[in-house]
Amino acid sequence: MKTKKFKKKFKRKDLRLKNIVIDDLESFSETEIVEEKRAEKKILEKAKTSKKSGLKLKKGRILEVKTNYRCLVAFDDYEIECPLSGRLKQLNLETRSLVATGDFVMVDFSEEPRIEEILPRKTKLTRFSEAGFQTEVIIAANIDQVIITVSVAEPPLNLSLVDRYICAAALENIIPIICINKIDLADSLEEIEKQVAFYSRCGYKVVLTSVKTEKGLDELKKVLKNKQSVFSGHSGVGKSSLINKLQPGINLRTGEISEFNKKGIHVTTSSRLIPWKFGGFLVDTPGIKTFGLPRKEKDKIPRIFPGFSELSENCKFQNCSHTHENECAVKDALARNEYPQERYFSYLRIWESL
Ligand SMILES: Nc1nc2c(ncn2[C@@H]2O[C@H](COP(=O)(O)OP(=O)(O)OP(=O)(O)O)[C@@H](O)[C@H]2O)c(=O)[nH]1
Ligand SMILES: [Mg+2]
Ligand SMILES: [Zn+2]
């Protein structure tokens, strides 16, 4: 594929130089570009449907995506690093994350091991870029629950981010668990508890933890046992530190908090699937900068945003967006102080961003 493409490019350039006197050179190149695009599309279609025969396939699981084309794969009793097959590389042209940590794959051992097939995902946690054309980034695949990790300080508590994760989890049928870490740094624990009580009332599990004092770690462990979880959140909130505490000896890299802006410095750089000694798996992930939701799912947000599912049953309009409509149960609850203003503003920011 690479050599073919190179030849084609070379040919076009060659023509330009040799036929410099031809009047309609530009239109000639245009046709060639169109044809090249058509050929590329054909290759992609073929890659989607073609299957080689005579392969020695073995099922494995992606532990880590090293680059777009090379992954660390686990089998029953060993791990190997291997590339995606040429066919899958072609498919990779279409998306930025074709393969993700947690994916089950079929590896062909008939020659040098190669990943031939990515098996359908049961679930995936995805985020989207917010501006312009939205690209999908898969954070982890085949997981039961996302541990939405935030800290009370350094970096400061960000509940709007929690709201976004809860919506993303609802869209993918993943259970959201809220982990509020660094409670040793809270000026007033009561104040924090008041702020997060809303989420408990909505039925979400909230765990308050401190890596420093070890508070809440047993409770967190219970939540994680025998489950497939992913830890996700901003850089510096303590994802890797929590994992280190829960599984002594694992020694994941952790980092200092920047003196300058009290944020993390992006220490973890790739997602990694790790088995818990007490049962289950976890994916440690790099801190995210932004967490965009999929624009194509905008219409679902008014019913899945924290606290809205029951309320919206009483809105006059079935597809009420809780913004400009009359007889809106969400706005009524807001007026009666039965729904927190902060969360409603957080909803509006998401609604407008989509
Ligand atoms: N005071 C306090 N500090 C903590 C706690 N948990 C983690 N830290 C500190 O916070 C810093 C960042 O922790 P990391 O575990 O590297 O954070 P992370 O979320 O993995 O960050 P990225 O890998 O960059 O996404 C380290 O200096 C930890 O020692 C805690 O409960 N209390
Ligand atoms: Mg980390
Ligand atoms: Zn409404």
Domains and CATH numbers, the chain: 57-118 (2.40.50.140), 139-284 (3.40.50.300), 297-353 (1.10.40.50)
Residue bearing the CA closest to ligand 1, atom 16? 254
Model confidence at 4, pLDDT cuts 50, 70, 90, reads very low
26: phi then psi, degrees, rounded to nearest 5: -60, -45
The chain-wide mean pLDDT, for the chain, equals 87
Residue bearing the CA closest to ligand 1, atom 8? 238
d(CA 152, CA 169): 22
Residue bearing the CA closest to ligand 1, atom 22? 235
Best of 254, 274, 285, 289 for a ligand 1 pocket test (most atoms within 8 Å of beta carbon): 254
Report the pLDDT averaged over residues 159-188: 97
265: phi then psi, degrees, rounded to nearest 5: -115, 30
Name the helix (H) or strand (E) containing 33.
Answer: helix 25-49
Q: In what order do the strands lie in the sheet with 280-284?
A: 205-208, 175-181, 145-151, 227-232, 280-284, 272-275
Name the helix (H) or strand (E) containing 282.
Answer: strand 280-284
Calculate how far, in angstroms, residue 252's C-alpha sits from the geometric centre of ligand 2: 7
Share of the chain above pLDDT 70, in %: 84
Chain segment 80-90, per-residue pLDDT in tens: 999 999 888 87
Residue bearing the CA closest to ligand 1, atom 24? 266
Q: Is 121 helix (H, G, I), strand (E, B) or coil?
A: coil
Q: State which amino acid sits at residue 335.
A: A
Pairing mode of beta strands 145-151, 136-141: unpaired
Distinct helix (H) and strand (E) counts, the chain: 11, 13
Tokens for 258? 């920047």
d(CA 241, CA 253): 8
* Interior angle at CA 105, CA 90 and CA 284, nearest 5: 100
Calculate how far, in angstroms, residue 265's C-alpha sits from the geometric centre of ligand 2: 9
255 lines ligand 1 (CB under 6 A): yes
Other beta carbons within 10 angstroms of residue 301's beta carbon come to 22
Chain segment 330-354, per-residue pLDDT in tens: 999 999 999 999 999 999 999 999 9
224 lines ligand 1 (CB under 6 A): no
Q: State which amino acid sits at residue 5.
A: K
